[in-house]
Chain A
């Protein structure tokens, strides 16, 4: 089966027109549509964060009212988690790369893939409606009974938005699982798969096993609020802690939905910038599955100070220590890959190294919080805020941006200025640490999260944090600026600008609509850098065995 000739137009060129995008079934175009959407939501969530950090410049709480502050941190969380972080890597880079990396023409269900984007947009409309009709103030966790009985804000709209968006995540995960099982090219065995695929497979497992539970939980809150049902209502004998169990059954694994794809990106980048086979490939592959599975057994560490039994807490605490092991395996293997590799200092290298440093701090402070006794002191302080930002912003967003920088030439056919890529990575790294490291100290000293005012003693650290947020914002804005600017230049990206292995680098940039001129047949392991003449010397075309 051959489709077209060497002169087939790229997926960006054929066909043209707005409807050719809005009705597209091409996984690459849907990935681009997701990229634009999540960027918009990242900007919106960033604006909310700017409001929070501005308020915290002074201890008095004089910039925003307490009510408005509550709404800002809630919306910051809801937008960043459900509309940016969860779809960020899977729905953009994952959508774009998974079929190409396994040698398929598309995902197994292209129409469902498009449907998932529309569902995401509909969920986004509900949530934005909640914002414009006065916001919501429950915190992104929607804890009952505050969310179901007490709050007089737009919980129903916001919850429906999250409920709907959940289905876009379910459909993405479902599509990836079937695609990875059923669409691999001949010769693409499980242990030849790029680690990006393993990570997304594990992510998809979490998406399909966890998301439905939070969906029904949010629907139950909706039923309480909108229909007067009693599920978690203490007045009827209901238990609000049951809500926490059901919520964290999804929302703890959801952290792995955010970080596992980032780990997949980092595995690709580490191998490429080191020009070396990943150290301990199968360990890295299995550790993704281990994280996905063990990640389902630790949710109670969010509930140490609730009425949860102390024995359950003990077990959750121990399993939390265990789930750190596969993450550590990955980190060790990445560093071992770089050790004695031919590391070149390109912009993806900066992002990868930034990721490793920040993820390491985020992961290790997670162990502090998973320790039941210590958590009683640190619970709901800025220590927690700093910890999860180190994972989600320091880890997931550094990986996301690293991936965007690495795959930008493939996705758009354009190169960006290398110097800018490096400067922005440094800005983001410095700005990030300046923003969030002081928050560890603040939390340790006892500053609680979710208050708009604080004792004067905490001001210096808060000013540092806000200053860092400014640097961080500048770094992000710079990236948008030069990446968008690159779109107006000519397409000059070669097929394989980094000299990397993998099917995605053997096809033209940007790829043609059907990805491959002829169906590829895979004959080598992933990251076979050793089997090459030299850096970037790999010129084997797809299908040319």
Chain B
């Protein structure tokens, strides 16, 4: 329990986070059509993973902590997925109001 990471690891993660921030700002200025948002989200997820795995130490923690940390995101996907499943299928029937 309570793994002690080296300072060097923390500095490297910090550096990577700064680079990714610059990357996300730069890519936002390029018109990539529908791909802008997925790329921005991919960068954000990468940054979040760096923080979760190293700053928060999940990489060195128990499997239980990993499951708990993942569960919140899984439940978010349930919320987003099912709710959008409603909105995105509303037009399918072709009957107004249904």
Contact = CB atoms under 8 A, between A and B. Distances in A.
A–B touching in complex (CB under 8 Å)? yes
Chain A interface size, under 10 / 10 to 19 / 20 to 34 / 35 or more: 10 to 19
Interface string A278-316: 000000000000000000110110000001111110010
B62 to A, nearest CB: 10
Interface in B50-98: 64, 71-72, 75, 78-79, 82-83, 85-90, 92-93, 97-98
Contacts of B72: 209
A174 to B, nearest CB: 11
Interface in A291-343: 296-297, 299-300, 307-312, 315
A315 B79 contact: no
Given A181-B64, A307-B97, A213 B86 contact: no
B89 A209 contact: no
A300 B86 CA distance: 9
Contacts of B85: 309, 311-312, 315
A3 to B, nearest CB: 27
Query: Chain B binding site: helix, strand, loop or mixed by DSSP?
Result: helix
A245 B86 contact: yes
Contacts of A242: 83
Given A209-B71, A296-B75, A297-B78, A309 B83 contact: no
Contacts, number: 41
B86 A209 contact: no
Given A181-B64, A307-B97, A296 B89 contact: no
B82 A213 contact: no
A245 B83 contact: yes
B82 A297 contact: yes
A249 interface: yes
A535 to B, nearest CB: 39
Interface in A238-253: 242, 245, 249
Contacts of A297: 78, 82
Nearest to B79: A249
A312 B86 contact: yes
Contacts of B82: 297, 299-300, 312
5 contacts: A209-B71, A309-B92, A311-B92, A311-B93, A312-B85
